[in-house]
Structure 1
Amino acid sequence: MDVYSTYRRCTLRSKRLAGSYWALTGSLGIYVIYTAVTAKSHLLQEVLASDGVLFARFAEDEDVQPKCANMNSTGLCVELPWLDAVEISATRGFLATYIQETLLFGRPALQQLGTGQIAHQGQQKVRSQAFYVGQPELWILVLEHRLSSITGTWSGQDLIGFLRQEQLDTGYSHPIEHVAHGLPKEVKTWFGGAKDRRLQVRLFELLQAAGVTLDQECSRCAEFNLTGEAARLRRIGLELDVTLFYSNLWFLWSDISTWFLPNKEVTFELQVKAREPVEGVRTIRTIGPAQSFFQDEEYHNQTARVTRRSFGIRLLFHQRGVIGKWDSMSLAFFLLQSCTFLGVAWTLTELLCTFIPVLCDLWGWPPPAWFESLQRAQRDKID
């Protein structure tokens, strides 16, 4: 006799099972929609990461001139034009806020090796002087930038940008996490106006956005046992990371289209982060006496030279962001992944049917009627 078995289709009518299935399906569906809105996983995305801008410089405002008399410091001060206090390139810049000069006469003497004789000191330190640079925080930082991405090449003057009232924590693992915070309702500064579309921002606004001022004390200076005048950031120096963050995926509650569709135009955000290096921020170089601020009669000797130490602000420029656009393959992969994920609800419901006896024994409930019917059908199939 040949023994064979066939599958029998059973229809279960249980409000609890149906409720569990639809609750799981609804929860998973909401999660899929949430990830689509926040992660924009249905779009083709390009993550931007480069250091530098196209061009950077400082400018002076004719209506607001820096004045030494307005500074909260003691000692000497010089009102310099920005060209004499700034060294800048497309990737970084240095802005002097405090300068120390040492006037030296003579040159180090040549010595014969192995003679055991000590040569006469041929270099003599005459005097030193130090002074502050008059209110460099009033100067205007001008940035010219360009964006090349999957959407094309954009000039910075074609884009609208902003500086937030308060900086967000930029320690995200992926740029899309920052974009999910959305555009701020109120911003400190907008860039890209009708008259002048350049990115221009005053240095003190960058410092405020980073949460520091030049007149505050250095947070780590106590470790070096400094004495005398308080070691303020204006005298010690600091670093500013200036980041241009681009995206066309900003999230807005008021605009439903931004939940799923990329914006037609790219918008950039100016981000600033301050850091205080252990040894401060300074540059050291030798200049001619005529380039220094010593009086002419002090360096009549032809061998005179000046060592200049400049403390100030180091600017580091970065370009970051994430750009998205519609792509058929990305959309197809997202739909396939979502459908597979929604199938978890059916699998979990089947597991729930299998473990019903265990759950009923655990909670002290009688087995449901549909389970008894399912067991009888199983026995009839075996018989």
Structure 2
Amino acid sequence: MTVDLNPHDDAPTVAYQLTGSGAFDPDDDLGRCPVCAAPVYSDDHYCEVCGHPLEGPDPAHGDADHSEVDLGELAGVCDRGVRHTTNEDAMGLAVVYGTLIAVVCDGVSTTPGSGQASAAAAATAMAVLADAVRAHGPGHPVHHDTRPPRGGSAADAMLDILEPAYPEYDEPRTAPRAIVGGFSPEDAEAALHAAVDAAQATIAQLSAAEGRMAPSCTFAAAIVTPPTPDGPGMVTVGWVGDSRVYLLGPRWCERLTSDDTWAAEAARAGLIPANEAETHRRAHTLTRWLGGDVEDVAPHTEIFPIEAPATVLVCSDGLWNYASRPDVMASLVNQLPPRCTAIDVARHLVDFAIDAGGHDNITVVAARVDH
């Protein structure tokens, strides 16, 4: 995106596996599994955590202009777009013990080196989040026949508020398998704070060009945790800046983040009409970001229940500039077949943004939640 002092645009990309940037390498000797982001060494033949064969096909491929990562139920696409000569977006993806982790960072284009900053932030945050999930272990699966009847939990109460009953809607006949003792949404919130702190510390080590602002980027992440005996799966989101997370469910759709921009904050304060938050001349002027000249980098965090089947999207403004409303985003996804894959969704949305003009770098990470 192009903004004034607190702006962003083009950049390299990252997937856990750091697809795109190539400029940031936290440890030459220690790598990461491209699926679960567990530490691996160069002579390892497979990941000891998830079993992924390290000598087989790489789920991440592409270059700085266009890269893709396909982990099955979680996938992402990062594209330079049409107007920019470089790509300053970055993404990180991992699947750890059934928990889906997605990170998107968008470099602030008016600060030199922001592509490297976004790559470093995405890589660092993904490593912290994946390690946090792994530290809790896989939990214990519980067959649906042993689960108590649905209802009565705080998560279900929230679903009842968010999703009013529709007479023609039938409850699923088969309850999904649940996980006990694994990584919880509350654990995810704490991990997001740690991840942002670590990302900020990493960016601070990048040298700023003399006489210029230090490199900066936005941050948005979604952590999808499996169902528990108490209720449905949950998505925990964290963000700094104006990269976004959307939840597109079977009966409702919603944007789960609120932009840290001058215009958005002015609209929330009643200083400008709400319908001008994305058209005002300061609509892309960031008020919070990661990087130089910033004191408070604590992320906003929220937890939401998921009614499956659903799609969780984490994206940069290169997409949402053309489809900001959740219902419009849902209509784009609904153009695809119902059983389409996460990589199909990400590719479709990136193609849509390019066809709409591609004025900015475009990054979309999609998680398909079917249970």
**Shorter-chain TM-score category?**
under 0.3
Higher RCO (CA 8 Å, separation ≥ 6 residues): 1
Q: Which has the higher helix share?
A: 1
Q: TM-score, normalised by structure 2?
A: 0.25
Q: Which has the higher strand share?
A: 1
